[in-house]
């Protein structure tokens, strides 16, 4: 047999390679393309400024929180150029970097569903007094409750090798000494607290702060029946409520503030990595009866009862 022309042999080789390639492609199992999850906006979360103020300072830590409902993650955007914080807890703490109006945005994700809520907050520059002293205390105090006042040093140029002297004026005719002192007011009102700080080799510094003293030191006891919707035996509970019907009130050491003009008080405290205790309390019938709900990370129960 005569040998095939070289060109014809090359064509047969090319055809054979093409057939093998097509057969291999046809035999390959088509792999599924992973689908991109579709996010759905199905709810609106609660976004609360726990400092209870629309205007804050640029040198303080502000706490925000949301509902105590199990979720995958929480994304907090601060509106001041800071990087968003992603957490697995229902609260976040932030110190704002920009003066003026900032829009806080919360995104809560649960599976492929999410909800978003925004809130506005006005940030002011905190004019630090000479030598960087400030008075640390609660802004709202209670009648006949022992309150703490601290003359805090917050800048390094205040440091000295000699001792400081502190003279307090609590605005109601009472005086005190020491960088940490306590005072109890006997009446309600607005008071200007002042402290004069003296040190060797430096001029005296005067720092002041206006506070509000409200309510009554009278504590009211209520005996209540508590039931958990998750099951379990009902039980009796006696709680102590102070400062009714003023705003804010104290319940078992926690501070609750009135929601709007109603006699509903809400507060969150004992916060940790597992969440916060959410406390909701309603007062009825001229303070004769109450109903409250406590939601913790592992249990929720409602209680109702009458004044003892």
End-to-end CA distance of the chain: 120
What are the start and end residues of each CATH 2.60.40.10 domain in the chain? 40-124, 130-214
Fold annotation for 40-124:
Immunoglobulin-like (2.60.40)
Domain spanning 130-214: CATH superfamily: Immunoglobulins (2.60.40.10)
The pLDDT of residue 1 is 44
| Per-residue pLDDT tens listing for the chain (308 residues) | 444 455 656 666 666 656 666 665 555 555 566 666 688 999 999 898 877 677 788 877 888 989 888 899 999 999 888 888 888 888 888 988 887 788 899 999 998 999 999 988 888 776 654 456 788 887 777 777 777 888 876 655 565 556 778 899 999 999 999 888 888 888 888 999 999 988 766 678 888 888 888 777 788 999 999 988 777 788 898 988 888 877 778 887 777 877 766 788 888 776 766 667 778 888 887 889 988 887 766 678 888 999 99
The pLDDT of residue 2 is 47
What are the start and end residues of each CATH 2.40.128 domain in the chain? 219-307
The pLDDT of residue 167 is 93
DSSP string, the chain: -PPPPHHHHHHHHHHHHHHHHHHHHHHSPPPPPPPPPPPEEEE----EETT--SEEETTS-EEEE------SEEEEE-SSSPPPEEESSSEEEE---SSEEEEEEEEEEETTEEEEEEEEEEEE---PPGGGEEEE--SEEETT--EEEEEEE-SGGG--SS-EEEEEE-SSS-EEESSEEEE--SS-EEEEEEEEEEETTEEEEEEEEEEEEES---EEEEEEEEE-TT----EEEEEEEESTTSSSEEETTEEEEE-TTSSEEEEEEEEETTEEEEEEEEEETTTTEEEEEEE-SS-EEEEEEEE-
Phi-psi region of 143 (alpha: psi -120 to 50; beta: other; left: phi over 0): beta
Q: Does domain 219-307 have CATH number 1.20.58?
A: no
């Amino acid at each position: 047999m005569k040998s095939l022309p070289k060109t014809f042999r090359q064509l047969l080789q090319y055809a054979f390679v093409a057939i093998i390639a097509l057969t291999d492609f046809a035999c390959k199992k088509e792999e599924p393309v992973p689908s991109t999850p579709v996010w759905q906006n199905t709810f609106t979360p609660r976004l609360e400024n726990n400092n209870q103020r629309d205007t804050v300072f640029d040198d303080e830590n502000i706490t925000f929180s949301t509902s105590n409902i199990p979720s995958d993650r929480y994304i907090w955007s601060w509106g001041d150029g800071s990087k968003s914080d992603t957490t697995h807890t229902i609260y976040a703490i932030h110190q704002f970097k920009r003066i003026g109006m900032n829009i806080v945005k919360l995104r809560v994700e649960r599976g492929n569903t999410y909800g978003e809520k925004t809130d506005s907050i006005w940030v002011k520059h905190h004019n630090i007094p000479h030598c960087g002293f400030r008075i640390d205390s609660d802004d709202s105090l209670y009648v006949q409750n022992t309150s703490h006042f601290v003359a805090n040093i917050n800048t390094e140029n205040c440091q000295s090798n000699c001792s400081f002297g502190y003279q307090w004026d609590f605005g109601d005719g009472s005086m005190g000494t020491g960088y940490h002192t306590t005072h109890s007011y006997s009446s309600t009102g607005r008071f200007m607290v002042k402290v004069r700080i003296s040190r060797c080799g430096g001029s005296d510094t005067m720092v002041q702060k206006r506070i509000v003293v409200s309510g009554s030191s009278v504590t009211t006891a209520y005996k209540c029946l508590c039931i958990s919707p998750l099951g379990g035996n009902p039980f009796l509970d006696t709680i102590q409520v102070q400062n009714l019907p003023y705003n804010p009130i104290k319940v078992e050491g926690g501070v609750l503030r009135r929601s709007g003009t109603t006699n509903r008080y809400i507060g969150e405290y004992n916060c940790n990595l597992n969440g916060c205790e959410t406390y909701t309390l309603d007062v009825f019938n001229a303070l004769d009866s109450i109903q409250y709900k406590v939601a913790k990370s592992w249990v929720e129960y409602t209680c109702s009862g009458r004044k003892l």
